Amino acid sequence: MESRHCRVKKCTKNHKKHFCKSCFDTDSNHFSGFCSMFENMFNNDERHEVEGYPQRTKNLVHVTTKDIMKKIKQSNEMRPGKTGWFGDGIYFAESLEVAMTKSLAEGCFIEATVEVGQSLIVPKPQKCYSMNFQRLQNEYNCDSIKAFTNSGA
């Protein structure tokens, strides 16, 4: 079988073109999670909406690959991924349908009760690759991010 490569560095899929779910580029040179279409919304001069309370839990869904699912079952823990709209993290959605549209992975899903605590609300698709858990807690006094896309929360 002939090997085909898209323009995205570190892409492991065997295809000629990569589709960006953010800017809808059909021959993208980037992963959707690293699309520069949206500007960084995290400006400390702005007020941000927060919902929830410490130790609040929600039933959520996470989509992953079969290989990663095996590792999760073996270790009984989930580890943050390296790509995503808000930097390294474990990304969940409120439904399987929404999780499938947001995920870069496919194959398996996990339903889990997740301690989301206080959530920083991101009302429209924006990206901040420099966000991390320490910054989220120190600057926004939050434990998680709730982002809305065209497909839902």
DSSP string, the chain: ------SSTT--S--S----TTT--TT-SS-GGG--SSPP---TTS---EE--TT-EEEEEEEE-HHHHHHHHHHT----BS-STTSSB---BSSHHHHHHH-S--SEEEEEEEE--SEEEE-S----TT--HHHHHHHH--SEEEE-BTTB-
pLDDT at 40: 44
Domain ranges in the chain are 1-37, 50-147
Residue 35 has pLDDT above 70, yes or no: no
Could you tell me the pLDDT band of residue 4, with boundaries at 50, 70 and 90?
low
Give the chain's mean pLDDT.
Answer: 80
